[in-house]
Amino acid sequence: MNIQISNRHGSADGHIKTFVETELANLHTKYNFLGADVILDHEGHGNVQYSAEINVQVKGSTIHAKESSEEMGKSIDLAVKTISKQLQKHKDTHYSSIEQKRSNREIR
């Protein structure tokens, strides 16, 4: 699995990068995906908003999530949860259609 982490308007420290890699590795054990691109960003001067954007490549498509909050860790956690839901939906729809095709062949 290939993970690319990019920073906009600043730099994420090693703890944040390790956190992102750990969360995506946990997702990879549940769902089979090819790679992920993560973009970390912060906006504003006084009231800073941190955003985490995750693009996960699965066979045949890309799944996208972007979340923002007051803390970088929280933004990453929210984006990972969103990606997890989308990966589960992709798995359910993709693999259920394959199983349905197989069962139709067996009936004939």
Query: Residue 92 pLDDT > 90, yes or no?
Result: no
What is residue 78's three-state secondary structure?
A: helix
Give the distance, in angstroms, between the CA of residue 79 and the centroid of all CA atoms in the same chain: 6
What is residue 58's three-state secondary structure?
A: strand
pLDDT value at position 8?
87
- Sequence spans of domains, the chain: 2-107
What is residue 41's three-state secondary structure?
A: strand
Closest by CA to 49, choosing from 65, 66, 70, 67, is 70
In angstroms, the CA 80 to CA 86 distance is: 10
Paired tokens of 69? 């909050």
pLDDT value at position 70?
92
pLDDT value at position 14?
82
Domain boundaries 2-107, corresponding CATH code: 3.30.160.100
- Residue pLDDT, tens place only, 60-91: 899 999 999 999 999 999 999 999 999 999 98
31-40 as b/e, with b when 16 or more CB fall inside 10 Å?
A: bebeebbbbb
Amino acid type, 41: D
